[in-house]
Structure 1
Amino acid sequence: MSKQGYHHGNLRQALVTSTLALIEEKGPTGFTLSEAAKRAGVTPAAVYRHFAGREDLIAECARQGYLIFGDLMEHAWNGGKPTALAAFSATGRAYLAFARKYPGHYMAMFESGISSNRSPELSNVASRATGAIEQATAALMDHVPPERRPPVAMVSAHIWALSHGVVELYAREGNRAPYAPEDLLESGIGVYLRGLGLIGPDRP
Structure 2
Amino acid sequence: MNWRKDQRRGERGYHHGNLKEALLQAALDLISQKGPAGFTFADAARMAGVSPAAPYRHFRDRDELLSSIAQRGFEQFEQLLTAAWDDGRPDTITAFERVGKAYLAFAREEPAFYSAMFESGVPVETTPALMAASERAFAVIRAAAERLAALAPPGVPRPPAMMMALHIWAMSHGVASLFGRGDAARRKLPMTPEELLEAEVLIYLRGLGFPTERKPEPAEEKPAGQYSGPWGKPK
TM-score (norm 2): 0.80
1:100 matched residue in structure 2: 108
1:185 matched residue in structure 2: 197
1:61 matched residue in structure 2: 69
Distance 1:8 1:117, change over 3 A: farther
Q: Which one of 168, 175, 185 corresponds to residue 159 of structure 1?
A: 168
Contact 2:142 2:161 in 1 (8 A): yes
What is the CA–CA distance in structure 1 between the aligned matches of 2:209 and 2:120, rounded to whole Å? Answer: 36
The alignment partner of 1:117 has SS state of helix
Q: Which one of 107, 128, 133 corresponds to residue 125 of structure 1?
A: 133
Matched residue count: 199
**Unmatched segments (≥5 aa) in structure 1:** none
Q: Which one of 12, 26, 30 corresponds to residue 20 of structure 2?
A: 12
Per-residue deviation at 1:197?
A: 1.8
**Unmatched segments (≥5 aa) in structure 2:** 1-12, 215-235
2:85 matched residue in structure 1: 77
Per-residue deviation at 1:8?
A: 4.4
Q: Which amino acid aligns with 1:81?
A: R
Superposed structure 1 runs of 4+ greater than 6 Å apart: none
Q: Could you tell me the percent identity over the aligned residues?
A: 46
What is the CA–CA distance in structure 1 between the aligned matches of 2:104 and 2:29, rounded to whole Å? Answer: 20
Q: Which one of 158, 167, 185 corresponds to residue 149 of structure 1?
A: 158
The alignment partner of 2:190 has SS state of coil
Is 111-120 or 132-141 further displaced after alignment? 111-120
TM-score (norm 1): 0.91
The alignment partner of 1:148 has SS state of coil
Per-residue deviation at 1:29?
A: 0.5
* CA displacement 1:154-187 (0-9 Å, x = unmatched): 1111111111111111112222323110000100
1:169 matched residue in structure 2: 178
Per-residue deviation at 1:42?
A: 0.6
Per-residue deviation at 1:108?
A: 0.2
* CA displacement 1:44-88 (0-9 Å, x = unmatched): 111000001111100000000000000001001101101111111
RMSD: 1.9
